Structure 1
């Protein structure tokens, strides 16, 4: 009976030593092999790198660090911001005429200048035309009066007008004789010289009297 008890006790001790050895082996493996922890850390770091690329995109930058905002003229398809817009009216595309617009009783003389689009396509016009009166005493440049309207699309074959006003010569003298009207369309440098359709002279002046004035495009007539 004593022998059996000793054998059982020996078995219990052996089993305990075996379990302790297994546990110590597992602990040692965890202490000497940090691959599992470092792998998790590396995975987290990799995720952060991908996120930083997203941050570049959110801030308007691409992979090269430069802005990726579309240029203002990207809709044109050719790099020119106005390639798809209606072109401006040019001197060569306009037929320019002038007629007397004076109405009896008015304190000033008036000439209506008409601009007819003969270019074959619609064009845009706005602002003031340049107006000069050629006289026997030299050139007199008209002074702008009024506020220009918004840019106006002048359809092919249609006309738009503006006025030129000038002081009447009521002095009884010969005054300053007008020999021609020079018109330069807005934003153009090429001029057209027309016959002057109004009164033949201006009152002689030292510059302190009434001026020759020009109204903005569309200031006379209805246009079209």
Structure 2
């Protein structure tokens, strides 16, 4: 499963995009704006954020901001979706690297997240997605059930002997898996757990899924 495939399986369908002016910026400047948006939305709910605050941090005019984004919500949704796509790609990368032990792949991703410095932009992305009760973080993107990418996902599930009966069910399980990881990280952050507490709790969930909860 290549990284290109992983990007496709999550998809960009319906993703909020900034204007071409922003996309054509030099990478260094674009990265700086991405980091400032992430830092701003991580610290404050969008209802508390002002465009004036963002442009002051960026050292640009208000007019320049609107050359890059339609409005504040456009900038927020772009930050949410780009963060979600990056994190979902990485979760699937860890799963693919441990393709014969699906839940071990997720566990290794969770352990890796625990060791991140809290000033790291990646940690800020995790924090943003886990702390925001926002429909945009869970909205499913269009994904054809008969596509090559879904068949590849099905092959990964078959390798792990999962009882997935159809491509539609495979897609549903994909999003369920993403929610499982993000909910575990939300518990980790909210409850201020240690790494071991997070991994122990995740192993409970993995065992429930693998072995069931009924005798």
Is the TM-score greater than 0.5?
A: no
Structure of larger gyration radius = 1
What band does the TM-score fall into relative to the shorter chain?
Answer: under 0.3
Higher strand content, 1 or 2: 1
Q: TM-score, normalised by structure 2?
A: 0.22
